[in-house]
Every structure is written in structure tokens, then in C-alpha cells.
Amino acid sequence: MKVKRLVSMGLAAVLAAGVTACGSSQDKSATEQTANENQTGTSESASAESASPESNDSESDAPITITYANFNASGGNEETLNKMYEAFHKAYPNITVKIETIAMDDYFTTMQTRIAGGTGPDCLEMNIENFGTYASQGILEELTGADTEGMNQTALQAFQYDGTQYGLPENFSTVVLVYNKDLFDKAGIDYPSDSWTRDDVDAAAEKIRALGDDIYGIYQPVTYNEFYKVAAQYGGSLLDADKTEFTINSEENVTALQSMVDRVQKTNVQPTEEQMGGMGDWDLFESGRLGMIPTGTWCFNTFKDACDFNWDICVEPGETQKATHFFANALVVNKDASAEAKAAAQKWITWLASSSDAAQIRLDAGWDLPALDDTSKLSSYLEQTPPENRQAVFDSLNDIVLPPIINDYQQMSDIITDCISKAAKGECTAKEALDDAQSQCEAAIKLK
């Protein structure tokens, strides 16, 4: 009897131990991903190594193989990246780059696990949201050997942390107002223009909403990402100038949130979550039932294929001022890599970010925009249609708002989304939602 009880107690403990199994599955997905890595480099690495095994050149010229991890090429641009690498390898035959392309969904958990385990790649791609967290943890190498001339200065500044350059801007995208021309024609109103404000958008949205029960004027989700931008359009911000205090419930921000909520609750030119019923916002636009959608320039290729109506873009209208989302990915170097690998990695990422060869390959593939200062180099981007008004993408750069990067960026964004979506559902007022977000952020997050 006693033995049996002991055994069953032991069994209980073992079963309870299953809790930790979740943690280990993370490691598993990381290793699976590594197995999927792109092996393009290997054949060339053999020839590069045999070419000059005994060369007495300086250290930097000795053949070296580095690893580079990225998410941006996954889902269609793996070949484009390979092409870039081949061009790079011609110019720098001694540097072999092993490229690992990992889907965005797994990318950051994989990187976290590998860097913590000391098996991170020598250089990697980083998005703007995670950049601050990584830089603050001291795991990125200061980029001293990179030639930053010709790079987009705004983007370059976004990848400084405490005045130190840790990342090079690889590409950029902005958010523009995409609109369904056919619905505007049907409603008999003028197309949006750069002189519009949010009030003009609201008026147009109401006219389009009147076209039918399941036709909506605009979709701008009441989430953190849209909110910090709309707040800026009303002259507000989430943090004070030196990022030492939250200013989430400022008067400007309350007005901004109120205007977002009114579109859902008051005029209903924007569908509620229930009216969306789990449908995606792009799907709604593609179905031809949505007048306007502020969304990223990365939608162009998808909309080109999916929309059987006429559409175009313009710079997103603001209120007291214009404010446009600006997203960029950075190329960073792992501090943990060897000195030789770091030097080679800086050459590779500088080339990838600023060489005209890389830029041309990127543009030819219609991938995204290289973050170059001289937009005349990007002219071939303008020749592709739709949208007709591609110039708006460059015009939108005049009024950009950067994400308010702090160390606990993701947590702040979750808290704010949580609170303001309550207001969007009509469960509380805009003021209550932002007061709540302010006190939650103050309690959970320490600013420097």
C-alpha cells in the first residue's frame, strides 16, 4: 500500500513536471529552423578556401565564412537575396556568407534562444520594434567600420541607442492612405488629396458608408500601432521628449483616441470587431467593400493581384499636423562573434544596405525600398503601377513619426492596445482607457 502511494505521488510529480515541457519546445523549433537554413554559401566556401590557403595577407583578407540571419526574404524573396549575395561575393571573394532565412513568426524566438545559448549568427536583421531591447542588453556590436554615407539619415538615427550606432538601415516602408477609386466614383466625391485632414476623411467615409449596409468607409484598427501615429497627428505623443515619463493620457491623445473610436461607435463608418467577424482588413479592402485603408507600402504587390477595381494612394491625412508611419529594418552585428567575423560582417551589411548593386537588385525584384538618402536612385520604383501615385511614398517621408522605442516596447504596446480596444468596444470612454493605460504602464515599466 505504501509503495503504491509513493509510486502514485511520484507519478503526480512527473505529470506536473510537464509544465516545463513548453519551454523545451522552443528549443526544438529553433533547431528545426536551423536545419532549414539556406545553404547557398557552402559550395563557394570550398572554392574560396582552396583559393588562397597560404596567403600571407592581413587578417581582414583571409578567407572567412560568416552567418547572416534574416526574416525579410522569407516568403518570396529568398532568390533575390541570393542574387545580392552572389554580387557581393564577386566583389569580396574572401568573404563567404551563410544565409539563414527564417519566417518572421519564429524569427525572434529563434534569435533569442540562440543568442542566449551563444550560437547566434554573426550578423542579423532586426526590426525597429525589437532594436531597442536588443541594444539595451549589450548584445549588439558598435558599428565603427561601416561607411554610412548615402544612407537615409532618419533611418540611420533610428538605429542609434544612447548615441551609439548599432544598426544600419536596410530598407524602409511607410504607411499611406490606400483608397478604392470605384467606391469614390459611385459616391460621387473627390478622391483624397494631400491637402485633406482627418475631417475630410470622415466626411468621405460617411458618404461611402451610405452606399450599402456592408460597405464601410475606412478601416484603421484601434490598436497601439495606429494610436501612436494618430496621437502625433493631433500633436500628442506617448512619452515626453527625453523618454523619462509616460504622457499617454494627455489631452491631445484623448482627442485623438476619441476620433478613432467615433468612427467605430458613433458614425460606424468603420466596422466593429463583430461586424468584421474575424475577417482580415486587407480581405475587406480586396473584396471591394472598403473605401479607404491606411496601410503599408508592402501591400502594393498583394493588392495589384487581388483587387479587381481601381485603387490609388495618397499621403495619409493628419489633423493639426501630418504624421506618417515609418518602418525600417536594421542590420546589426552580434557582439559575441569573433573579431574577424565582426569585421567581415560589417562589410557585408554595409554593402547590403548602401551599395547601388544591392539597391538595384532590390528594386528590380519589387521587394522593398532600400534606405538610401538620394531618392533619385530609386526612380525605377516610381515606374511600376498600380498605384499611379507612387510619388506619395516619397512625399510621405516628409512627416514621419518614429515608434517611441523603449526597452519594454512590446509590453507597453500590449497594455495600450488592451486598454484602447475597450474604448473601441464602447466599454469605457477614451479618457478612462488612456488613464488606465497610463497607470498600468507606470506600474509595470521602468523608464530610464
Partner 1 sequence: MAMKNKERKKIIQAIPFMLPSLVGMVLFSLLPMVIAIALSFTDWSGLGKFSFSMVSRQFIGLENYKRLLSQGEFWSAVGHVMYFVALYLPISFFFSMMVALLLNSGKKLSGLYRILYYIPVLTSWVAASLIWKWVLSSQYGVFNSILSIFGIQGPDWLTNKYWAMPGIVLASVWKDMGFYGLYIFGGLRTIDTGYYEAAQIDGAGKWVTLTRITIPLLSPTLFYCLIMSLINAFQLFPQVQIMTEGGPNGATQVPVERIYTYAFSYFKMGYAAAFSWLLFLIILVLTMVQLKAQKAWVHYEA
> Which positions touch partner 1 (CB under 8 A)?
5, 8-9, 12-24, 26, 108-109, 112, 115-118, 133-134, 137-139, 273-279, 336, 408, 410-411, 414, 418, 421-422, 425, 427, 443
Tell me whether residue 25 or residue 376 sits nearer to partner 1 (CB atom).
Answer: 25
CB of 86 to partner 1, least distance (A): 33
Strand partners, 206: none
Which of 53/138 has CB closer to partner 1? Answer: 138
| Least distance from partner 1 to the Cβ atom of residue 91, Å | 33
When the beta carbons of 69 and 353 are compared against partner 1, the nearer one is 69
Apex CA 379: angle with CA 83 and CA 285, to 5°? 85
Residue 432: CB minimum distance to partner 1, A: 13
Report the residue number, 203 or 276, with the smaller CB distance to partner 1: 276
Minimum gap (Å) between residue 414 Cβ and partner 1: 8
Q: Measured between alpha carbons, how far is 77 from 138 in angstroms, rounded to an integer?
A: 31
133 vs 253, beta carbon nearer partner 1 = 133
For partner 1, the closer CB: 177 or 405: 405
Contact between 153 and 373 under an 8 Å Cβ cutoff? The reply is yes
Minimum CB distance to partner 1, residue 279 (Å): 7
* CB-based burial, 219-255: b 16+ in 10 Å, e otherwise: bbbbbbbbbbbbbbbbbbbbbeeeeeebbbbbebbbb
- We find the least distance from the C-beta atom of residue 418 to partner 1, in angstroms, to be 6
Residue 1 CB, shortest distance to partner 1, in Å, is: 10
Minimum CB distance to partner 1, residue 220 (Å): 18
* Closer by beta carbon to partner 1, 371 or else 419: 419
Nearer to partner 1, 106 or 262 (CB): 106
Q: Are 445 and 406 in contact (CB under 8 A)?
A: yes
